[in-house]
Amino acid sequence: MTLADLAAAPGPASDLVLADEAATPVERARVLEGLRGRLREMRASIERGLESDAKSRTGMVGWNAKTLWNAPDELRAPLLQRVQAYAMAVNEENARMGRIVAAPTAGSAGTLPGALLGVADHLGLDEDRLLGPLALAGGIGQVISQSMFIAGSTGGCQAEIGSSAAMAAAAVTEAMGGDAAASVHAAAMALMNTIGLVCDPVGGYVEVPCVSRNAFYSVHAVASAQLALAGVTSPIPPDEVVLAMASVGRLLPPELRETGEGGIADTPTGRRIALEMAR
């Protein structure tokens, strides 16, 4: 399956994904029930993350989601605040070794639930309306993984959180009633605008900048969906965007691929924190 195949689907793009996963009505029902379970696990991790201010083992993160969630909405942008808080809640749960849904990875686990559940709660969308979009998110991730391993260690953060942003953008677009083409172009625009993003975790821990990065890219996914719903499309065919990301990922030096040897991990403070964590 390609992104072009998904974009050409006569109905919602998720129908094609589900048809590929389930050959019979019984299998489809089983897949949908599994997706419902994943959604509930995502919500549970959000709820725990918003209630807790316990620090991670390293002490670098753990209270940011709750702080943002309880802060005054100075910008009068409740959707923005909700999406970011939800995303950080999931990643801080991950940093505390709590249960999360890797979507597609632990380090990028907050982007999809932050965007999809954040938008759903903001607009009052029910759970049933999110099952197809979640299936589509999985399908987008599967297509991307055919060209590049979805891991910061192989392609930089563009391959990890870029993929999660693409998955989230497609899901939000479909949840909002966007057609198959709009959903796929939302994914392409989200991925296109993360190309070159390095993976530079301080001390090698999936905490800084990972937690705040999920907050930023959940908003990035919603912005991509908004563009697509307005009729904006990617000038570069979506499958070519994936290939471009994969090409850049292979060009990134090892220092910029999750080794903790480049980017902010290689700043004086980043190196000092890494040494402290190693003691």
- pLDDT tens, position by position, 241-258: 999 999 999 999 999 999
- Dihedral over Cα of 136, 32, 93, 249: its sign: negative
Q: Which residues neighbour 279 within 8 Å (Cβ) at sequence distance 6 or greater?
A: none
Q: Quote the pLDDT of residue 174.
A: 98
83-97 average pLDDT score: 98
160 pLDDT above the threshold of 80: yes
Q: What percentage of the chain exceeds 70 in pLDDT?
A: 100
Please say whether the beta carbons of 103 and 112 come within 8 A: yes
Angle at CA of residue 263, ends 96 and 206, nearest 5°: 15
- Dihedral over Cα of 2, 4, 5, 6: its sign: positive
277 pLDDT above the threshold of 90: no
119-129 average pLDDT score: 97
89 pLDDT above the threshold of 80: yes
- In the chain, where the domains are located: 3-278
Residue 201 three-state SS: coil
Q: Which residues neighbour 52 within 8 Å (Cβ) at sequence distance 6 or greater?
A: 62, 66, 92, 93, 96
What does the DSSP assignment read for 88-106? Answer: HHHHHHHHTT-----SS-S
Please say whether the beta carbons of 218 and 171 come within 8 A: no
Residue 46 token pair: 């959000």
Q: Quote the pLDDT of residue 279.
A: 77
Report CA 6 to chain centroid distance, whole Å: 19
Q: What is the pTM of this model?
A: 0.97
Rg of the chain taking only CA atoms, in angstroms: 18
56 pLDDT above the threshold of 90: yes
Residue 105 token pair: 């990875």
Please say whether the beta carbons of 34 and 203 come within 8 A: no
Residue 66 token pair: 């709750």
The pair phi, psi for residue 232, each rounded to 5°, is: -75, 140
